[in-house]
Amino acid sequence: MNRFPLPGDQDINGIPWRDTITLALAGIVAILLFVLPFVNPKAKKAEDDIVPPGNVIVELFWADNIDADIDLWTQAPGDVPVGYSNKGGKLFNLLRDDLGTFADVSGRNYEIATTRGFVPGEYTVNVHLYNRKTSPLPIAVKVVVSIKKSLKEKTEQILVSGPDLKLSFDGQELTAFRFTLDPDSNLVRGSVTDLPKPLRSSGSLP
């Protein structure tokens, strides 16, 4: 005769099956917890071995409301000049060539060049007014140089140009900075100058 199950009734055949599944899941979790500490250090070591892009970072800014094509030129020690007509050398790469408002949806006037690693010696940073279009002269520009020694270290701003860095005519090329980094990638005290050094073959330096 059928009857309703009493509170003390249990499915005797289902108890071992549930215990087996529980033990299996607990074993998998234990294995994962045991393996993870050995995996993470390897991944961290691989990350530490990566040389980050942008060890020396050079940025050029001018007012966003100015429709002018201004170019950033850089040169690393023993390398060729890098700018709009030669966007890569052994160390520097020009990452953004801003043409003013032409084909620019952001409206921001900005150029940037970075290096892949460090080389001790003198670095040169120039600015060049390619075409002012209809913009009034002179055009004030700002140059910022930063360094990032490793992934673990923060980017450190080492040089910022003053408010008197201005371009006065089409074709003008000015040296914003010449500076020296030592073998430890530190800025050499007393090495910073703006002594003119043309980086474009057709550039003019007053």
Q: Are residues 80 and 26 in the same domain?
A: no
Q: Are residues 63 and 121 in the same domain?
A: yes
In a domain, 189, yes or no: no
In a domain, 194, yes or no: no
In a domain, 4, yes or no: no
Q: Are residues 25 and 63 in the same domain?
A: no
Cα–Cα distance measured from residue 42 to residue 15, given in angstroms and rounded to the nearest whole number: 42
Q: Are residues 99 and 43 in the same domain?
A: no
In a domain, 205, yes or no: no
In a domain, 200, yes or no: no
Residue 105 has a pLDDT of: 58
Q: Are residues 63 and 147 in the same domain?
A: yes
Closest CA to 194 of 167, 170, 175, 180: 175
Residue 1 has a pLDDT of: 52
Q: Are residues 97 and 67 in the same domain?
A: yes
Q: Are residues 89 and 19 in the same domain?
A: no
Q: Are residues 42 and 61 in the same domain?
A: no
Question: Is the bond preceding 77 in cis, omega lying within 30 degrees of 0?
Answer: no
Report, as ranges of residue numbers, the positions in the chain whose pLDDT lies below 70.
Answer: 1-19, 32-53, 100-107, 202-206
Tell me the residue range of the domain where 30 lies.
12-49
Cα–Cα distance measured from residue 80 to residue 68, given in angstroms and rounded to the nearest whole number: 26
In a domain, 1, yes or no: no
Beta-strand relationship, 110-115 and 166-167: unpaired
Residue 133 has a pLDDT of: 83
In a domain, 141, yes or no: yes
DSSP 8-state code for residue 26: H
Q: Which residues pair with 141 in a beta bridge?
A: 62
Q: How many domains does the chain have?
A: 2
CB 28 within 8 A of CB 22: no
Q: What is the CA radius of gyration of the chain?
A: 30
Cα–Cα distance measured from residue 68 to residue 129, given in angstroms and rounded to the nearest whole number: 8
In a domain, 167, yes or no: yes
Q: Are residues 66 and 155 in the same domain?
A: yes
Q: Are residues 116 and 136 in the same domain?
A: yes
pTM above 0.75, yes or no: no
Residue 28 has a pLDDT of: 77
Q: Are residues 81 and 142 in the same domain?
A: yes
What's the distance, CA 124 to chain centroid? Answer: 19
Residue 21: what are its φ and ψ, rounded to 5°?
-65, -45
Write the CB contacts of 58 (distance below 8 Å, at least 6 apart in sequence): 72, 74, 112, 113, 114, 125, 143, 144, 145
Cα–Cα distance measured from residue 87 to residue 23, given in angstroms and rounded to the nearest whole number: 61
Q: Are residues 122 and 162 in the same domain?
A: yes
Write out the E strands in the chain.
Answer: 56-62, 69-75, 92-96, 110-115, 121-131, 139-147, 156-160, 166-167, 173-181
Residue 45 has a pLDDT of: 43
Residue 46 has a pLDDT of: 40
Residue 176 has a pLDDT of: 98
